[in-house]
């Protein structure tokens, strides 16, 4: 117990709200608990927080969002790895004698030594299930190739994903806190001065840098931009839906050159997350867990008993975001055609060609499929449209419109904070 008491607190502690931090510190100091029990209790405290307040989840071997803290395992890995391997990772994580780079090298060696049978059991990030089958098969083959070091496998996986068309790439979470390899949001390169773009390109192409290091260097570059240069950068489309006073605050923060770019980003989303639910803009088509959140307008349109079931799921702190999503999907899948017909549609639907609109509406009411399957089929149809016929994301829903008689083109929009094009909405 005396040894455990001397171990450093979790590295993410400083990112937590004060009350959650106090709870975690109390668990960390509790010598009546085993290390595993403390770990489980701390994880439960973190998972009970609203998604926007949780510290950055580990990425690395678990997905294309950069390496986890050295020795820290991505969610779900501990459950499938042998106990002695998990202990090796914990020893690395808790060592005060090793540098971050040494911890990373040791972690990489452990992953590299795992047999293919164990690697195959490691969970994938939730959004990987949306990848094309041939891409997923290729990625699985790379991850299980024990002739390559773990770091090289990850590099090859990221290369495969980055080669996909933008609409097929697994998206980062809405407020992306982890490393992205220095990638810029769409439209930034076109708006930045040529010499700055060249600096960013040099960082992105530097194979000696980790994703985290690339992110830090690109953050330094963006932090050095003048107010005039910042003003030329495209805005995320949802900014236009913000209340005027919030918009003014956000724009002031965005141009505040006294704080780093990443810090501005964090402060902006803290402001947005503090808005009342009905004023909060909805983020782009999101394929990962959303904690069972419904698109705007759905709760008001659903029968009262169904809306209450959804609320109970959302407020259940014993469920993970993924479990909440699955349960809400079951509820939406059980709706009758009449109930579905009353749900508001994404605004982008009105811009669809008539034959596409008819197909989409038919799929939306097909109760033989789950809600999620319908959602995937609809956006596969929309993504297959020629670029000039593809509608762009709109935020606030509207009552179901009559089928359009002509093709209209919506304004081109990109989500300039999250680094992906928007051609869909999570309805």
3-state secondary structure string across the chain: CHHHHHCCCCCCHHHCCHHHHHHHHHHHHCCCCCHHHHHHHHHHHHHCCCHHHCCCCCCHHHCCCCCCCCCCCCCCHHHHCCHHHHHHHHHHHHCCCCCHHHHHHHHHHHHHHCCHHHHCCCCCCHHHHHCCHHHHHHHHHHHCCCCCCHHHHHHHHHHHHHCCCHHHCCCCCCCCCCCCCCCCCCCHHHHCCHHHHHHHHHHHCCCCCCHHHHHHHHHHHHHCCCHHHHHCCCCCHHHHHCCHHHHHHHHHHHCCCCCCHHHHHHHHHHHHHCCCHHHCCCCCCCCCCCCCCCCCCHHHHCCHHHHHHHHHHHCCCCCCHHHHHHHHHHHHHCCCHHHHHCCCECHHHHHCCHHHHHHHHHHHCCCCCCHHHHHHHHHHHHHCCCHHHCCCCCCCCECCCCCCCCCCCCCCCEECCCCEECCCCCC
pLDDT in 10s for each residue of the chain, 427 residues: 444 444 455 555 666 777 887 888 788 777 676 665 676 778 778 777 765 566 644 333 333 334 455 566 777 787 788 989 988 988 887 787 887 678 888 888 999 999 999 998 888 775 676 678 888 889 999 999 999 888 888 878 877 877 777 566 665 443 343 345 577 776 788 889 999 989 988 888 887 877 678 888 888 999 999 999 998 888 876 677 788 898 899 999 999 999 998 888 888 877 877 777 667 665 444 433 356 777 767 888 899 999 899 888 888 878 776 788 888 889 999 999 999 988 887 766 777 888 888 898 999 999 998 888 888 788 778 777 776 676 654 333 334 444 444 433 333 333 333 333 333 323 3
In the chain, what are the domain boundaries?
50-154, 188-265, 298-421
Q: Is the pTM of this model over 0.75?
A: no
């Amino acid at each position: 117990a005396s040894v455990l008491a001397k171990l450093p607190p979790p590295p993410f502690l400083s990112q937590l709200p004060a009350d959650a931090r106090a709870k975690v510190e109390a668990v960390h100091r509790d010598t009546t608990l085993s290390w595993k029990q403390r770990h489980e209790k701390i994880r439960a405290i973190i998972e009970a927080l609203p998604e926007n307040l949780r510290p950055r989840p580990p990425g690395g071997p678990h997905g294309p969002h950069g390496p986890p803290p050295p020795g820290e395992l991505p969610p779900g890995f501990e459950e499938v790895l042998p106990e002695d391997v998990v202990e090796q990772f914990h020893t690395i994580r808790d060592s005060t004698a090793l540098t971050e780079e040494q911890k990373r090298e040791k972690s990489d060696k452990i992953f590299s030594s795992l047999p293919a049978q164990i690697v195959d059991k490691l969970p994938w990030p939730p959004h990987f299930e949306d990848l094309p089958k041939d891409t997923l098969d290729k990625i699985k083959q790379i991850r299980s190739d024990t002739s390559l070091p773990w770091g090289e496998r990850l590099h090859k996986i990221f290369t495969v994903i980055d080669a996909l068309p933008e609409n097929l790439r697994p998206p980062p979470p809405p407020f992306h806190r982890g490393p992205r390899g220095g990638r810029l949001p769409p439209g930034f390169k076109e708006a930045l001065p040529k010499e700055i773009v060249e600096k960013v390109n040099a960082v992105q192409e530097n194979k000696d840098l980790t994703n985290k290091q690339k992110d830090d260097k690109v953050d330094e570059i963006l932090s050095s931009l003048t107010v005039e240069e910042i003003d030329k950068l495209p805005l995320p489309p949802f900014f236009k839906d913000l209340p005027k006073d919030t918009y003014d605050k956000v724009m002031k923060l965005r141009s505040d050159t006294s704080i780093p770019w990443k810090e501005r980003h964090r402060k902006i989303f803290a402001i947005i997350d503090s808005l009342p639910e009905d004023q909060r803009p909805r983020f782009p088509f999101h394929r990962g867990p959303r904690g069972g959140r419904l698109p705007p307008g759905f709760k008001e349109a659903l029968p009262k008993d169904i809306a209450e079931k959804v609320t109970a799921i959302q407020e259940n702190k014993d469920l993970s975001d993924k479990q909440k999503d699955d349960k809400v999907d079951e509820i939406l899948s059980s709706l009758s055609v009449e109930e579905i017909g009353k749900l508001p549609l994404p605004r982008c639907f009105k811009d669809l060609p008539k034959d596409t609109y008819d197909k989409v509406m038919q799929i939306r009411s097909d109760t033989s499929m789950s809600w999620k399957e319908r959602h995937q089929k609809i956006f596969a149809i929309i993504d297959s449209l020629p670029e000039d016929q593809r509608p762009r994301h709109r935020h606030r829903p509207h009552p179901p419109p009559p089928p359009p008689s002509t093709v209209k083109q919506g304004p081109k929009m990109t989500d300039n904070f999250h680094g992906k094009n928007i051609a869909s909405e999570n309805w």
